[in-house]
Amino acid sequence: MRRLLALLILGALVLGVVYIWKYQPHRLPGFHTDKLDHVGTELGKVGGAVEEKLRATKIKGAVKAALELNRSLSAYSIDVDAHDDGSVVVAGEVPTEDARAAAARVAAGVPDVARVDNQLRVNPALGAPSSEGRSLGENFDDHALEAKVKLAFSLNKDMKGSDVTVSAFRREVTLGGTVTSDAQRQLALQIAQQTAQVGAVKDAMQVGAAAPAGASPAPRSDAAAAGGAAATGSPQAVQAALAANANLAPFHLVAQAQGGRIVVSGRVRTGAEKDLAGMVARGAAGAAVQNNVIVQP
């Protein structure tokens, strides 16, 4: 009986609250409609802020993708930041004013970008993309491929007496210079074709007689000239080869003899440059070298 009475009283209270809420809301001081309106307004603001953040993130991703897809800009590390108002900031380093202006144009052309704040700095030491149409990364790859092919030649005794030049352009290798016979020409083509990452090989070699014993030595290459009278395979010859390479010369890498082997040390900006240094050094040394070059972006 008491339980039933309690339930009736509770029901009456609930009905009373519902009645006052619906027909006399002014009698509930803590639940004014203006406060409810305020809550709704705040929720709307939060939703709008989230939408703007998502829009800024979308714009940032689109600008970053556009820069990475641009052939003349993909080789450079360009930072992108986007704001809620559609403005975009591009920062980092490029080698020329033309590249700096191009980055701003590419960013401004992306849909929904309202304004571009170009904070890119010009650093000529980065080196511009090759005038032949290769990006900086492609240029490094081609030089690394040239070093690989030359190293493969040096590790084959049947290539002795040849003076084959190697030139790579987007993984297509052209062999020039001279060989001692048609058989050596075919061997050179085979070695180049079997070298990893080589796409195609062009033959521009000529067959010439090997230099007779006692004959005057051929004119030295730039690498040999830079090393003075350095003997082939010596640290001085490796040092000269590193200094003669256009992509490695700015880093002033050092080659020294330590523990019966040649050690290359110094600092470069990328892993590709370190690999290139190792291959150039091995090609000049004619043997394995210890690559202690440090990558420091």
**Helical segments of 228-270, H only:** 235-244
* Range in 152-156, 260-264, 289-293 with the lowest mean pLDDT: 152-156
Does the predicted TM-score (pTM) go above 0.85?
no
What is the domain count for the chain? Answer: 3
User: How remote is the C-alpha of 254 from its chain's centroid?
Assistant: 25
Among 210, 236, 259, where does a domain finish?
210
pLDDT tens digits, 68-106: 877 678 778 899 999 888 899 999 988 888 889 999 998
pLDDT tens digits, 256-283: 888 888 898 999 887 777 877 887 787 7
pLDDT of 116 above 90: yes
Mean pLDDT (the chain, rounded): 76
Which residues does residue 118 pair with via DSSP β-bridges, in sequence order?
90
Residue 43 in domain: yes
Query: Are 41 and 116 part of one and the same domain?
Result: yes
More confident residue, 14 or 182: 182
State which residues form the domain around 230. 221-297
Q: Identify the pLDDT of residue 210.
A: 45
243: region left, alpha or beta (phi > 0 left; psi from -120 to 50 alpha): alpha
Average pLDDT, integer, range 180-190: 89
Q: Identify the pLDDT of residue 131.
A: 44
99 touches 78 (CB < 8 A): no
Residue 198 in domain: yes
Query: Are 122 and 136 part of one and the same domain?
Result: no
CA distance 290 to 272: 16
